[in-house]
Amino acid sequence: MPLAGSRDWLRWPHDPDRPRFAYGADYNPEQWPREVWEEDLRLMRRAGVNIVTLGVFSWSRLQPGPDTWDFGWLDELMDRLYGNGIAVDLATATASPPAWLTTAHPEVLPVTRTGETVWPGARQHWRPTSPVFRRYALELAGALAGRYGGHPALAAWHVSNELGCHNFYDYSDDAAAAFRAWLRDRYGGLDGLNHAWGTDFWSQRYTGWDQILPPRLAASHANPTQQLDFTRFSSDALRDHLRAEREVLRRAAPGIPVTTNFMVMGDLAGMNYADWAHEVDFVSNDHYVQPGPGGADELSFSANLTGGLARGRPWYLMEHSTGAVNWRRVNPPKAPGQLARDSLLHVAHGADAVCFFQWRQSAAGAEKYHSAMLPHAGPDSPVFRDVTELGRVLAEDLAEVAGTWRLPARAALVFDWESSWAVRRDSLPSSLLDAHREALDWYTAFLDAGVRVDVLPTDAAWEGYDLVVAPLLHVLPGPTAERLHGYVAGGGHLVTTYFSGIVDENDHIHPGGHPGPLRDLLGLRVDEFAPLPEGTCVVLDDGGIGTVWSDRITVTAPGTEVWARYADGDLAGGAAVTRRSVPGGGSACYVSTRLDGGHRTALLERLLAGAGIGGELPEELRGRVELAVRAGEGAEYHFLASRTDEPVKIGHLPGVPLTGTAGRGSAGRGGDAGVLPPRGIAVRRVPPREAGRRPAAGPPRASS
């Protein structure tokens, strides 16, 4: 339970009860002389900035030595920001330990799988399990909490930064000791561990805890359950660090919400955010859009999943970029209109804060070519004009949208963290498996079909949805299998794919043929996996093309319909896509290959029709426009985002236009011009269809 007085959204210093969008950036004033601070504040006001994240990389400035502290500059900045109406998301500054600490205590430095030390010189060079690091980090967090916990500018605490971005896996002796303790906790005794890890294979049986190690460089494939447990452990170790800092902050300042920035983006990192979401008072996310085709769909997927982690509550976009990043092979700027589109697409999926990395573009250091709100070109620049316009749109055009929630869709797409880890390990039938890509494929199919879907973690309440797609649900513990059975028996329509339901939580094969607990539900048995080599495909009798995977299937239940068969290769004539209807109206569909986009969308449309789910957009807009809906007490807000390079007419859609983007920046107050340009996004107020339809689950609340 949260401590009395803890909050689940920002504590605004001024006019605290007025809902509003947070708008701002990481602010790193220690990189600049004092004279620049004055200009910063003036330009922040001009841009509509109302919050900054301060202190993320300030440890060496705040604590120049083990017993010396320098808070003067931060005191001054906190006061001046407050005086300018700008709130502070104050970081605990523990992300990057200073040189004096790592010199005195090299034992805090992480160790790679091959035994190399990760030296200082960049950032995040600390072991999540180091007791020494923990002691220093908590001392710093405590000092900040004690000093600023009552400061009027303080809106939220920001624990560390992107926990696990560079130090997720650490194979040090500290990690080994903590891993053993974690395993004792999970399995109780060595018998349990030996069973779970299947240690009679290759003579791996353990007779003492001190024999157990992280999966360091080994002669061949490391034990798969050891690998899976080490990933679980690594996620938990960082989560424990989050908890430890959070408790220090809570004790000193119980009324201030605590968050940390997740990285739900790209192919997702190791951290199990489905689990971590329960540890923060509100969810925050960092997202960097991929350049090129598909980038906006991936952004939408990530924002949607972040909304799912937030259980429909407002969430905080902590970082994205105004333009180029500095860490891809080639780093292009954003196209005209993209800055606003990217930001508002996050808002469409429930973000109530739109923030960037960073406020002022650095002059020195590894990120001096990374874009910022205030670029090297200065305020008289296209980027700063776009930034200022976006600040206005959020504060004025969309003011009434702040504090509303995303309207639940009728279909859900379940993303399972443990399965995503398990299918990218070694010693599998194929190294081409990718759970994130498969989920994104299905998400794109929903966008192409013009039907909204909520992306949810496995532990969310997806039972209330009419259609659930759970792709590559490889790790299937008994309770989740029971939930799936109950869902279909209750009339739900389930879709799952190849390599799902194969192993239990110990990574042991479910007995009796694949896919273990889903066999009866699907009415089939997979007799043999037939993964497809890279660059090859298989043709289906409906013209569909499959890649990555195929299965040799025996249909076992008379009611199982075969919707598509393999048309070539060794499996010709065998079932490829099936659907079984169950009494009570539910159904279970199995897709045994990675279907090409067109056929996947056609299949999805058929499944949606079977579930009675129609599109909410007129036929001619489906696939060309993404619709996302937020809802408040008296209105819905329809976000319409272009997915094509052609202008799209939307003038005939219902609702009062609130804003619309065109070319650079926005079409301005009064709304869209009835046409969505490429990368355009428009927002309309529409009367509510169902009063008070709220997300199924409540907000994430940090446990204490």
Q: How far is the CB of 165 from ligand GAL (least distance, A)?
A: 6
Closest approach of ligand GAL to the CB of residue 94, in Å? 13
Q: How far apart are CA 460 and CA 31, in angstroms?
A: 42
Q: Which two tokens stand for residue 126?
A: 């600390």
CA distance 128 to 238: 6
Q: 84 or 290: whose CB is closer to ligand GAL?
A: 290
Closer residue to ligand GAL in complex, CB, 342/448: 342
- Smallest gap from Cβ 141 to ligand GAL, in A, equals 18
**393: DSSP letter:** I
Least Å distance, CB 382 to ligand GAL, is 20
Residue among 325 and 562 whose Cβ is closer to ligand GAL: 325
Say whether 400 is catalytic: no
Q: Which is nearer to ligand GAL, 324 or 562 (CB)?
A: 324
8 Å CB contact between 24 and 54: no
Instruction: Kindly tell me which of 318 and 518 has the beta carbon lying closer to ligand GAL.
Output: 318
Nearer to ligand GAL, 288 or 549 (CB): 288
| Beta-carbon contacts of residue 653 (< 8 Å; ≥ 6 apart) | 618, 621, 638, 640, 684
d(CA 695, CA 388) in angstroms, rounded, equals 33
Quote the least distance from Cβ 329 to ligand GAL, whole Å: 15
Q: How far is the CB of 370 from ligand GAL (least distance, A)?
A: 5
d(C-alpha 247, C-alpha 85), whole Å: 28
Q: Long-range contacts of range 424-431, CB-CB < 8 Å, 24 or more positions apart?
A: 425/224, 425/227, 425/228, 426/221, 426/222, 427/221, 427/224, 429/499, 429/529, 429/531, 430/531, 430/532, 430/548, 430/549
Q: Which of 279, 319, 389, 626 is catalytic?
A: 319
Distance from C-alpha of 33 to C-alpha of 83, rounded to nearest angstrom: 20
Choice between 52 and 193, CB closer to ligand GAL: 52
Total H helices, total E strands in the chain: 17, 28
Alpha carbon distance 390, 9 (integer Å): 22
CB closer to ligand GAL out of 197 and 356:
356
Kindly state the smallest distance separating residue 288's Cβ from ligand GAL, in Å. 6
| Cβ-Cβ contacts under 8 Å for 449 (sequence gap 6 or more) | 601, 604, 605, 608, 615, 622, 623
Least Å distance between CB 320 and ligand GAL?
9
- Shortest Å, Cβ 74 to ligand GAL: 18
Q: What share of the chain is helix, strand, coil (3-state, %, to 5)?
A: 35, 20, 50
Q: Which of 409, 396, 295 shows the shortest CA–CA distance to 671?
A: 396
Q: How far apart are the C-alpha atoms of 662 and 691, rounded to whole Å?
A: 32
Q: How far is the CB of 318 from ligand GAL (least distance, A)?
A: 8
Of the two residues 165 and 539, which places its CB atom closer to ligand GAL in the complex? 165
Which residue in 28, 88, 92 sits closest to 63, CA to CA? 92
In the complex, least distance from residue 26 CB atom to ligand GAL, rounded to whole angstroms: 6
Asked if 660 and 682 count as a contact pair (C-beta separation under 8 A), the reply is yes
- Tokens 């199919």 belong to residue: 445
CB 573 within 8 A of CB 549: no
Residue 552 CB partners (closer than 8 Å, separation 6+): 526, 527, 528, 529, 530, 571, 574
Tokens of 400: 């009434």
> DSSP letters of 239-274?
HHHHHHHHHHHHHH-TTS-EE-EE---TT--S--HH
Question: Is the Cβ–Cβ distance between 449 and 622 less than 8 Å?
Answer: yes
DSSP codes, 394-417? IIIITGGGTT-EEPP-SEEEEE-H
* CA 650 – CA 643 distance, rounded (Å): 13
- Please identify which residue in the block is written with the tokens 């991929």: 290
Instruction: Provide the token pair at 145.
Output: 């909490």
475 neighbors 425 (Cβ within 8 angstroms): no
Cα four-point dihedral sign 149, 286, 25, 405: negative
Shortest Å distance, C-beta 160 to ligand GAL: 10
Active-site residue, 162 included:
yes
Tokens of 478: 């008994």
Between CA 53 and CA 22 the distance in angstroms is 11
- Give DSSP secondary structure letters for 11-23: --SSSTTS---EE
Answer for the pair 573, 523: CB distance below 8 angstroms, yes or no. no
Residue ranges binding ligand GAL (CB under 6 A): 161-162, 165, 286, 288, 319, 325, 357, 367, 370
For ligand GAL, the closer of residues 165 and 177 by Cβ is 165
Cβ closer to ligand GAL: 325 or 461?
Answer: 325
- In this complex, which beta carbon is closest to ligand GAL, that of residue 161 or of residue 642? 161
First to last CA, the chain: 6
Q: Is the Cβ of residue 370 or residue 622 nearer to ligand GAL in the bound state? A: 370
CB of 122 to ligand GAL, least distance (A): 10
Look at strands 594-595 and 587-591 and give their pairing. Answer: unpaired
Catalytic residue among 162, 389, 438, 626: 162
- Cα Dmax for the chain: 78
Phi, psi for 259 (deg, rounded to 5): -140, 170
Catalytic residues: 162, 319
